[in-house]
Amino acid sequence: MKLIFRKSNLTVGLALMLLVSIILAGCSSESASGSSDGPFYEEKSIELVVPFGTGGGTDTFARFVAPFLNESVEGNPSIQTVNVPGGGSINGANEFVFSREHNGQFALVTSASTHVPYFLGDPAVKYDLKEMKPVLGLPTGGVVYVNPETGIESPKDIQNPKQDLVYAGISATGLDLVTLLAFEVLEMDVEAVLGYDGRGPSRVAFESGESNIDYQTSTAFLTNVQPLVEEGKANPLFAFGQLDENGEVIRDPAFPDLPSLKEFYVEAYGEEPSGEAWEAYKAFLGSSFTVQKVIWLHSDAPKEAVTALTDGAEKIIDSSEFMEKGEEVLGGYTPYVGDQLNKVVSNMLDTDEEVLNWVKDYLEKEYEITRYQ
């Protein structure tokens, strides 16, 4: 910038004031975006926006991870978890995008309940996951099991159960969607009774005989259902499985002795699954279980922030203390970070439009859900 000084003392004074203002503005800008003299997050804070109420799985995950990030992220930023519940996590995710600064000091913690409405095109969704940068992702799994009185002990029994199959679920557009698609892939005749308040009440419905086929996520299955298996009150059929980096269904590492849905299908029918329901299952398995929870920054957050948080995330998963203390919260799964995280998230976001349209038609036909059309 060229400043022209004239002989007028007043003009010279104004010019000097302008020069000082420019210098101060530059210093202020450098301070806001991170100085080259120190870590980006030095003397800064990070707000983890959790779009759910307190006490749930996503909230518990965020509060567990926060102190480890505080220790591992260079600059040791103070980290606060803020709950913004409502709309099944849509409200908080929308608020993160439109009401939080894109300066690297705000992060969003999502779960499958945030991902599924986005993929289905829920009109209430204003956020775009493609406009966010993932820094840490956590997989989880689930196991489908039946009451022994159904007579289902092996894959070949699913077509001729001794009882009509009844499933107690929450919503066809949440995690239950993966289960319902699994039944569709297997061509199982299952009556889905939806509207339960959570997986806990759904399990109670199974135990009381209101339903006879159910699923629970990994931690809940090991804690609450495995005792039923040992008592002879439940037969595990299959685990949902995980998607590898190539988008193929593999056996769930938390359940090495249980077949994945793919393996279960092969045992039942003598061939690998295929078709629209199978492609839909894989798509929503990825967004619901393979990366069930994700911590995101805004995509246009400062590169220094992304680098610092990514490096910090990589440090904590290499920490034996983090994995040991997080045995229950993490469910035995190792979080994704770095290139591996970017790959699985990229696979999740690269969902074929024809697959999504098939799912929308399926929801309308089977469950009279039309808001996605």
Structure-derived torsion over alpha carbons of residues 240, 251, 262, 167, reported in degrees to the nearest 10:
-20
Q: What is the pLDDT of residue 36?
A: 54
Angstrom distances, CA of residue 89 to CA of 111, 123, 240, 319:
8, 14, 24, 30
pLDDT at 88 (0 to 100): 87
pLDDT of residue 115: 94
Q: 186 pLDDT exceeds 80?
A: yes
The secondary structure of 108-173, three-state, reads EEEEHHHHHHHHHCCCCCCCCHHHEEEEEEECCCEEEEECHHHCCCCHHHCCCCCCCEEEECCCCC
What pLDDT sits at residue 326?
Answer: 93
The C-alpha R_g of the chain, in whole angstroms, comes to 25
Q: Length of the chain in residues, anyone? A: 373
CA distance linking residue 88 with residue 276, whole number of Å: 27
Handedness of CA 289, 291, 294, 297 (dihedral sign): negative
**337 to 2, 71, 318, 342: CA distances (angstroms):** 47, 17, 11, 8
> Please, what is the average pLDDT of the chain?
90
| Residue 90: predicted pLDDT | 94
Has residue 68 got a pLDDT over 70? yes
**What distance in Å separates the CA atoms of residue 322 and residue 30, rounded to the nearest whole number?**
34
Mean pLDDT on 305-315: 97
Q: Quote the crossing angle between the two packed helices 276-285 and 112-120, to the nearest 10°.
A: 140
Instruction: Supply the pLDDT for residue 56.
Output: 84
Per-residue pLDDT at 37: 67
Ramachandran category for residue 87: left, alpha or beta (phi over 0 → left; psi -120 to 50 → alpha): left
Q: What percent of the chain has pLDDT over 90?
A: 80
Contact 136, 336 (CB under 8 A): yes
State mean pLDDT over 289-298: 95
User: What per-residue confidence (pLDDT) applies to 174?
Assistant: 86
Percent of the chain with pLDDT over 70: 90
The pLDDT, as a whole number, for residue 33 is 42
Sorting pLDDT into bands at 50, 70 and 90, what band is 247? confident
Q: What is the pLDDT of residue 27?
A: 44
The CA distance from 213 to 203, in Å, is 10
User: Where do we find the tokens 């039944």?
Assistant: 183
Who wins on pLDDT, 331 or 295?
A: 295
Mean pLDDT confidence for 199-220: 94
Mean of pLDDT values over 332-340 = 93
Q: Which two tokens stand for residue 220?
A: 């809940």
Residue 335 DSSP class = P
What value, to the nearest 5°, has the Cα angle with vertex 107 and ends 106 and 113? 140
Q: What is the pLDDT of residue 9?
A: 44
Total-model pTM: 0.82
Q: Is residue 14's pLDDT more than 70?
A: no
Q: Using one digit for the tens of pLDDT, what is the confidence trace for 73-117?
A: 999 999 999 999 999 899 999 999 999 999 999 999 999 989 999
Q: With 70 as the cut, is the pLDDT of residue 309 above it? A: yes
Average pLDDT over residues 6-34: 43
The domains located in the chain, with CATH, are: 41-139+291-351 (3.40.190.150), 142-288 (3.40.190.10)
Mean pLDDT of 330-339: 92
Q: Tell me: pLDDT of 34 over 60.
A: no
Helices assigned H by DSSP within the chain: 9-33, 57-72, 90-99, 112-120, 176-186, 199-208, 218-220, 226-230, 261-269, 276-285, 303-317, 320-325, 327-330, 338-349, 353-367
